[in-house]
Amino acid sequence: MKLIDADLFASTVFELSDKRNMTTTTETILDIIKYMATIDAVVVCRCKNCEHSCEIVEMPCFYWCKLFDRPVDDTDYCSCGRESR
């Protein structure tokens, strides 16, 4: 999988269409994707799905991280996160 900047991709397609005063073909779009730089991204495990966390019943959307012994939000993540099975 190649991760690219979707905003940059869209602006590039529109720019080329304007310069050529025509619609951009599928072949041209595939070429743009091929030569676009990739973005630096990694897949993360959110705390709500992590095997190291458990939900705090009194506080919905908050979890307790057993690894770091502290509360975490359901959208938090860290480099130690692992999906629960």
Buried b (16+ CB within 10 A) or exposed e, 31-63: ebeeebeeeeeeeebbbbebebbeeeeeeeebb
Phi, psi of 59 (to 5 degrees): -130, 90
Write the pLDDT tens digit of every residue in 14-54. Answer: 887 776 666 667 787 888 888 888 888 888 899 989 999 99
Which residues have C-beta within 8 Å of that of residue 33, sequence separation ≥ 6? Answer: 2, 4, 9
- Domain shared by 50 and 75, yes or no: yes
Range of the domain at 55: 45-79
Write the pLDDT tens digit of every residue in 62-76. Answer: 899 999 999 999 889
55 within a domain of the structure (yes/no): yes
- Domain shared by 30 and 50, yes or no: no
Query: Are the CB atoms for 51 and 84 separated by under 8 Å?
Result: yes
- As given in the structure block, the two tokens for residue 44 are 């993360």
How many domains, in total, are found in the chain? Answer: 2
1 within a domain of the structure (yes/no): no
